[in-house]
Amino acid sequence: MAYPEPLEALIAAFEQFPGIGRRSAERLAFHALRDPKARTLAPALERAVRETQRCSICANVAERNPCPICADERREKTRLCVVEEPRHVETIERAGTWRGVYHVLLGAFQPAEGTEERHLGLPRLIERVQREGVREVVLATDPDAEGEATAALVLERLEALGKKELVVSRLARGLPSGSGIEYLHKGILEDAFAHRRELRTHREGS
């Protein structure tokens, strides 16, 4: 016997989320029907969509454009930290380890999963590095296979600029392999930023 059409529509909606299969979607749908508190999800989702936007500079999620970080004149605008997702900005900001600005790629380089270079907005990053006189780019992608592939791709595109004054670095290997940036505590992030390794730099006369 098939579920009622409205319930099927709810299950199908949950299935659209990453990592949620049919059975997980069914459990979530029945939980939403059973628990009155779950009914706050729809208005909260509608409000988040209505009242947030992407920063036109860094692509982070914020209530206004530009976001508070990009608008903060106290931040070091020539130092740019490249992350995969907005949640990584939040994690690094909570740790208080970085006083530069950010650039959010909105994903990782995973061709097998359908995320290709064109989905990451790299032209915007390259344009920003050139326009804003960025002197250091820190690659703070996750220390997993996808994060490493993303970092290598960004490095390759930055190399092509041929900017002698640009230093590209990667967070130190103290990061647990296979972990995600958002799961790391303050001490690990402090060490990772303090001991970040230079991947490439052009020096005068080189």
What does the domain layout of the chain look like in residue ranges?
Answer: 5-51, 55-201
* The Cα angle at residue 105 between residues 104 and 109, in degrees rounded to 5: 150
Mean pLDDT lowest among 15-19, 67-71, 159-163, 191-195? 191-195
CB atoms within 10 A of CB 144: 16
Q: What is the pTM of this model?
A: 0.75
Q: Return the percentage of the chain with pLDDT > 90, whole number.
A: 59
pLDDT tens digits for range 134-152: 999 999 998 888 888 899 9
Q: Please tell me the predicted confidence (pLDDT) of residue 89.
A: 96
Euclidean distance between the first and the last CA atom of the chain, given in angstroms as a whole number: 72
Give me the CATH code for the 5-51 domain, please.
Answer: 1.10.8.420
CATH classification number, 55-201, choose in 3.30.930.10, 3.80.10.10, 3.40.640.10, 3.40.1360.10: 3.40.1360.10
pLDDT tens digits for range 48-105: 999 999 999 999 999 999 999 999 999 999 999 999 999 999 999 998 989 999 999 9
